[in-house]
Amino acid sequence: MLGNSEVSYLATLELRRAREAVAGVATTGVACFVVTNDAAAPAALTEPADAAGVAVLGSALRTADFIRSATVWLEERMAPETNLHGDLVEMHGLGVLILGKSGIGKSEAALDLVARGHRLVADDVVQVRRPSPTVVRGRSARLLGHHMEIRGLGVIDVEALFGTLATLEERQIDLVVELVEWPGGADRLGLVAGATRCSRWSCPWCASPSGRAAAWRC
């Protein structure tokens, strides 16, 4: 990235030295050069970059603004990502990830929560991203959208049935609720809590018995 100071410094060098300096950087594997402040890219930059096959881009933003925007963009695009088998809903402003073994009732609990006025983010497959060390976000798989497969009912479109406000595209995960079978370690009083690590991130966790009242306990 070259701002006014870097472009001015290149202008103080002899053309040969400037080209050698740029060529030394271009051959290290950089993706591109960006000239900020709407400045014209000097020949000492473009010629060695072209020879090395490195693009030279321009931006009208100030250097500090471009760095800030590029950092946010890169963090979003290059965040670690994984898929989890579960459901993600928003309850009272919190993102709740519902986990449990297959067939234990995760989708049924999520549907019951939506019927009670909460919002569905993802069913069956939750795409989890960590754009920063303290933030974990989840969304539905693109092909699944806001559809749910309910045992005995088939596939339903939550947005068509409950309205647009019943769904959410993405939500930060604040709590993990794991559905467990009776009596396997479930806390009936809600006094036992802990933390879980899913795909190298830590999040508050609690266990809840499965069954028709699972949504009420959540």
Catalytic residues: 85, 106, 124, 188
Pairwise CA distance, residues 155 & 11, whole Å = 65
3-state SS, residue 102: coil
DSSP letter assigned to residue 42: P
Segment holding 9, helix H or strand E: helix 4-12
How far from 148 is each of 114, 138, 169, 187, CA to CA, in Å? 11, 16, 15, 28
Is residue 42 within 8 Å of 10, Cβ to Cβ?
Answer: yes
Pairwise CA distance, residues 94 & 78, whole Å = 25
Please give the structure tokens belonging to residue 50: 């072209």
Alpha helices in 134-184 (DSSP H): 158-162
| 99-199-76 Cα angle (round to 5) | 105
